[in-house]
Structures are given as C-alpha cells and as structure tokens.
Chain A
C-alpha cells in the first residue's frame, strides 16, 4: 500500500476513534469557529475606529487573514502528532514504536490523528476570506483561483515546517515547546496585516526567517491586483509561496538530525 493510501487509512481510523465521542468533536468544532471569530472582531474594532490604515481597509485585512488562517486550519488537521510530539512520543518513549514500523516516522506522525474539530476553524477562515474578497471586489478568474490554491498550499507547507521544527526541538528538550505557539498563532495575527505596516526588522523576519509574508502578503497582493508598496517586482508576488516549501525542506534537515540524536542517545 502506498504512502498516500496509508495516510487515508490512518485518517479513517482516526475519524472512527473520534466518532466514538461525537458530541465532543462537534462541540470542539463549534468552539473553534466561535473563538476564531473573535480574531476578526478585534480587527473590525480597530478599523471601525480608524477607517483605513495606509490605504488598507477591513476587507483587505479579511483577505490576508482568511488566506493565512485557511492554511493554518488545513495544517492543523494532520499535524497533531508533531504538535504533541515531545510530551506524547519523546518523553514517554512511544517514538520507539514509530521506529519499529517499516514506514517513515513523519508519515506515521501525520497518521497519528486527523482532527475533526478543525472544521470549525476552516469554516471560519474560508468565510472571512470570501466575505473580505467580496467587499473589496475580487474578480475570481481561473488564474486567481489557481493562485489562491497555490498560496494556501505554500502556507500549509510553511505551517507544517513550523510544526516539524517544533517536534525536532523536542528531541533535545523532551518537552513539547509551547514557545512555538508564538510563531504559529502569533504568525497568523502578524500575517493578517500587510507587511508594509511593519518596521523593517520585523518585515525581514517575516520574509527571510519565518516566511509568513511570502505565503500571505505577496501572493494576496497579486490576488488584489495591487503592486507592492515596498517595491517588490511583480514576478515575485505569485512566486513567493515557494518559500513555504523551502522552509519545510529546511525543517526536515532538523528533523533528520533529531532522529539521529534519538537513536544515538535513546532518550
């Protein structure tokens, strides 16, 4: 059985486990929908007060936020294993079991859980994205739909990379590092506003270190038919999501190093 089919088998098993407690999955889903709505209320309050900031309105913010939040919601469906990796696998030694099976450890961690409750966040993110797009009048031509899909794919790669990196650190710390939430949840907060609003060093951080700007800001400019106020060339805007894949590839280098450390130290 190939890897993709195996992942689907894992997911169907995980769904059946969760459906043993259907009430819980539904309540968690509704909870995720409601709490993420509050994110948008904060932005709404801000723009209600100031109207526009450097020419950006609430509709634009909604599109930026919707894109990055959709990427994160999709990532959150299948990265639970990496998120809890330190506490559930390294500390307990359950990672031994992963190494005892003839499949890649990353694949088995993806198969750890398919989080049904994340439909709430995804629904909210898509709602905000398309309402925002309607407000600013995005014309969904086929090439824009394609660009949106490519942008979200790059975003999923980036967030997956962050979670793989978080899990990699756990090989050394043996604890799941909550500090990474600053980059994931904080990243969504940061990426919902256009990069042009930020100070130079923070902008550079979001382009070169954790390239959230490349999977939200630049490609969304292209979707909105806006040139970059900071002067990035036009060809770059739809190309930028590739940085998400570069980040994912780099995080797998750390992952490999972590596994190598685990098999040498046994802790």
Chain B
C-alpha cells in the first residue's frame, strides 16, 4: 500500500459575507449570508515512501487545503485519506507523531528562547527518547549548519537561519514524512540553494518522504522528480516535471547575435519575441521547424555572430499551463 493515499477528496468552505461598514456589521449579527467555496472537488493521488513530490498551483487552488487534510488539521467532506495506513483527523495524536510540518510563514519555535532550548522542549513534547534525541539533534545541527545559532534566541536569527532551524525542529522526532509549505518564501538566493540541498539530502540519505508546495518553480525544477499541478480544486497534471514541460510547451527559443542591426525575419512558425540592437530572440516549434533548418536558413541569409538555443523559463511553462486549463488566480 502507498504511504499516502488520497481518493476523491472533496472539501467545501462556507464563507460568511458581510456588507461593508457599521450597518453591514449590525446586519451580519442578525442575518448572515454565506457563500460556499469549493476548495477541493475530487483530488486523488498516491505517494510511495521515499518520494519527493512537488505540489504547485495558483493561490486558492487547493494546495494548502490538501496539506491541512493530510496533516490532520482539517476534515474533508468526502473522500478517503490514509497516511501510513491511518486516517489523519481521527487518529490525530498517532498521526502527527510520525509527520513533520514546516509552514514557511509561521514559526514552531519559541521566539524568546534560544534555538537549543526550543529543540529540547520539542523533544519532550514528542516524547523522543533522550539518547536518540541527542544523536538526532547533533546530526541535524551538522547537516543544517546550525552550530553558530544554537545559543541565540529565535527572534535574533535571519530568515535563512530560522528556516534551517525550523526544518531541524520538524525532524527531531524522526518523522517518515515531511510536509513543506512554501519553505523558500522570502529567502535570499544562497539560503534558497542551501534549503534545496538540505531537502534533497534528507530525501536521498534519510529516505524521508517529502511533499512540498511552492510558488518558486526553481524549487520544483531542482527538487521534485514528480509534480502535481492543482487548480480549481482538481488535479490538472500528475507527472515527472520534464514530461510536464515537454507536453505543455513544445516551444524552443533561439537567441541570435547578428553582425549588423538585427534584420526582419519572416518565416513560417517563427515568431520574434524581442529585439535589442543586433540581438533577436526567436520562438519556434521544433516539430514544425527543426532547429538545424532554422539555424541554417538564418546563417545563409545573414551574417551571424553567435547563436544560443534555449527553453522558455519555467514560470512561463506554468503560467501557460494555468491558462490552458483556465486555472488562473482563483
């Protein structure tokens, strides 16, 4: 049986609506209007132990709702959820003992306490055996390079340091599964790289199953072998990332430097994306115009200095995908 099994998950929220202003507030006391929001329609997927899954989708698509249901905070209206063979929300205490959760925007440590004391307290909360805790903590401190911040109160840490401490805090009780909800949000470039490295090592070396949501497509590109795209409360795609990229956008980019001012290009299936002095960026479909044909045609007609073939940026791939499915910002 897979480690995480989700079948036909559905969840509807009732959102209270209120007219603006004082009058609206008074009316709201007497009579409340509700609007229902279908957060999840019929989400199904499964995950084997040791997988690293990226979960992407626009805001309001249902990512957080899914994570909340999987971590036992929220009950679904319908559908099956089994994590390690348990139903998260009915078996809460046993379930949460075996998972780790990091919310990028919220801390699980104690603001005024040194990092190490927060760790000690968490070990007591999770009933981690003292010897195991020490071994575990030392390993995580080395892996996440936390030696220098252990004695500092959490409020004095930089965001990058804090996020590394958060990840360590979520792993002290040796969970089988780690849920990361936007772990790189707000981090600077070196911290993002370090974070990705850590997640990859945890997954490869310790075999921790990782489910991560993010808006940073480079996280997905760097980490996830498998991606689920969610939009309007439905799974739009569930595939290896490269397949997603190839299916959604079979488009190539060609950047050409000419010896003179860049010429006008009129060719079937080729589109000029940008023009800057002697440089042109062309977009083309390699199935209609093979790359060598295009390059040969250009070199024959003009004096070409340099040519670079590329793929569209990953953000573009995803934005295009959302458009195709009418799943823009919900």
On A, residues with C-beta under 8 Å from B are 1, 5-6, 9-10, 13, 16-18, 20, 93-94, 96-97, 99-103, 108, 263-267
* Among candidates A9, A10, A99, residue contacting B96 with C-beta atoms closer than 8 Å: A99
* Contact among A20, A93, A97, A108 for B153, CB-based, below 8 A: A20
For the complex formed, measure the closest distance between the CB of B85 and the CB atoms of chain A, giving whole angstroms.
17
B108 and A97 contacting across the interface, CB-CB below 8 Å: yes
Of B120-128, B144-152, B157-165, the one with at least 4 CB within 8 A of chain A: B120-128
- Chain B residues positioned under 8 Å from A6 (CB to CB): 124-125
Q: Nearest B residue to A104 by beta-carbon distance?
A: B93
CB of B65 within 8 A of chain A?
yes
Min CB distance A87 to B, Å, is 15
Give the distance in Å from the alpha carbon of A265 to the alpha carbon of B69 in the complex.
Answer: 11
CB distance from A93 to the nearest CB of B (A): 7
What's the Cα separation between A16 and B151 when bound, in Å?
13
Residue B68 interfacial (CB < 8 Å): yes
The interface stretch among B71-79, B216-224, B278-286 is: B71-79
How far is B75's CA from A83's CA once the two chains are assembled, in angstroms?
26
User: Can you add 20 more A-B contacts, CB < 8 Å, to A5-B124, A9-B124, A96-B68?
Assistant: A6-B124, A13-B117, A13-B121, A16-B113, A16-B117, A17-B110, A93-B106, A96-B103, A97-B103, A97-B106, A100-B73, A100-B99, A101-B126, A102-B125, A103-B125, A263-B89, A265-B13, A266-B73, A266-B74, A267-B13
Residue of A nearest to B89 (CB): A263
Hey, which chain B residues are within 8 Å of A264, CB to CB?
Answer: 74-75
A101 to B94, CA, bound (A): 10
Contact residues, B66-111 vs A (CB, 8 A):
68, 71-75, 89, 92-94, 96-97, 99, 101, 103, 106, 108, 110-111
- Are A265 and B124 in touch, CB under 8 angstroms? no
Tell me, yes or no, whether B112 is within 8 Å of chain A by CB. Answer: yes
Are A265 and B14 in touch, CB under 8 angstroms? yes
Q: Which residues of B contact A18 (CB under 8 A)?
A: 112
Q: Bound state CA distance, A263 and B88, in angstroms? A: 11
Whether B73 and A99, one on each chain, are in contact in the complex, defined by CB atoms closer than 8 angstroms, is: yes
CA distance A17 to B14 in the complex (A): 39
Distance A266 CA – B67 CA, assembled complex (angstroms): 12
